[in-house]
Amino acid sequence: MDFVDLHSHSTASDGTLAPAAVVRLAKELGLTALALTDHDTIAGLAEAHAEAASLGVDFLPGIEVSCEIPRPGTMHVLGYGVGSNSPVLRQMSESLIAARDDRNPRIIRRLNELGVDITLADVEAKAGGGVVGRPHIAAVLVQKGIVPTTQSAFDRYLGQGGAAYFDKERLERGQAMQLIRAAGGLPVLAHPVQLRMADEAMVEKTVKELVDLGLAGLEVIHSDHSPTDVERFSRLADRLGLIKTGGSDFHGANKKNIQLGMANGYRIPRAFFDNILERLPARV
Ligand code: AMP
Ligand code: FE
Ligand code: FE
Ligand code: ZN
């Protein structure tokens, strides 16, 4: 049986492997297809696509964007099949990065006020260009020995309730769906468990609302999903006629417990990739 990974991050956002290196790893692991889904950017897609073409790995260009949702939940939407040169996504990406350029210095300033010795230059060096986010700040805090692990960096400083937490700009749900559709892609709700909704009825209501806004699929296999989650989200996807997708959410050394192609013990069947391709709007 052939396996794939449809959710991965590179140095274009908060992963630690370059786009081409993620593709090489997929090849080494015997995966037959890969989607690169960096946060807020399509900057890694061209490099990954070229490497995939030369290695004979099927490549699905992607992106992951964050939407407004009440705390403590998070709502991430994957866009599959987006153009790697899409003007609408480039523009969106620029505006989200500009918002981060506003937020990152505030986080650093607060850390300095708390007596933590860290500079924006440290963080930018860690990120190596592209989207600069909290995982890069966390990595510097670990490297400097200020906290022992990434998790403790988020718990103590960077996460909701942390001493240096600042919110980030997110898209409205309809806006996210429209942008992805306008870029020729299919919007898929990532890791629905992270919505952290009180009950099944609430999840179903939310997903139905997203469908009305243009949602095409549901990520049913993910590293944060228990076997029960995989089963309940698969049933929900089937009931609502949504495409089922899956991925590890690989981030390289920024999420050390996640291996490419593996999601909490599950591998991702090739059919998930084929189903997306089948549903993608034809390119003109
Ligand atoms: P940002 O986009 O800068 O707000 O950072 C969000 C990213 O940080 C997420 O996509 C995750 O990759 C990572 N992240 C969030 N919470 C945690 C956590 N508790 N531990 C490790 N990584 C996290
Ligand atoms: Fe991330
Ligand atoms: Fe996500
Ligand atoms: Zn992700």
Q: What is the distance in A from the centroid of ligand 4 to the CA of 42?
A: 13
Per-residue burial over 238-257, b if 16 or more Cβ lie within 10 Å, else e, is eeeebbbbbbbbbbbebbee
pLDDT of residue 283: 66
Band (pLDDT 50/70/90 cuts) for residue 129 is: confident
Q: How far apart are CA 72 and CA 229, in angstroms?
A: 19
* Pocket lining: 159 vs ligand 1, CB cutoff 6 Å: yes
When the pLDDT of each residue in the chain is averaged and rounded to a whole number, the result is 97
Residue bearing the CA closest to ligand 1, atom 11: 135
* Pocket lining: 134 vs ligand 1, CB cutoff 6 Å: yes
Mean pLDDT along residues 105-125:
98
Question: 46-66 pLDDT, tens per residue?
Answer: 999 999 999 999 999 999 999
- pLDDT of 266 strictly over 70: yes
Question: 29-50 pLDDT, tens per residue?
Answer: 999 999 999 999 999 999 999 9
Residue bearing the CA closest to ligand 1, atom 14: 135
Index of the ligand 1 atom closest to the CA of residue 135? 8
Index of the ligand 1 atom closest to the CA of residue 133? 3
Band (pLDDT 50/70/90 cuts) for residue 1 is: confident
Q: Which residues contact 144 (CB under 8 A, 6 or more apart)?
A: 117, 118, 122
Are residues 207 and 236 in contact, defined by beta-carbon separation less than 8 angstroms? yes
Are residues 41 and 131 in contact, defined by beta-carbon separation less than 8 angstroms? yes
- pLDDT of 270 strictly over 70: yes
Closest-approaching ligand to the CA atom of 14: 2
pLDDT of residue 143: 97
Residue bearing the CA closest to ligand 1, atom 20: 151
Question: 81-92 pLDDT, tens per residue?
Answer: 999 999 999 999
Write out the two tokens for 180: 């992805």
Index of the ligand 1 atom closest to the CA of residue 155? 19
Question: 233-254 pLDDT, tens per residue?
Answer: 999 999 999 999 999 999 999 9
* Pocket lining: 206 vs ligand 1, CB cutoff 6 Å: no
Q: Give the number of other CB atoms < 10 A from CB of residue 184.
A: 20
- pLDDT of 284 strictly over 60: no
Output the pTM of the full model: 0.96
The beta strands (E) that lie in 120-216 are given as: 186-189
Q: What is the distance in A from the centroid of ligand 3 to the CA of 190?
A: 6
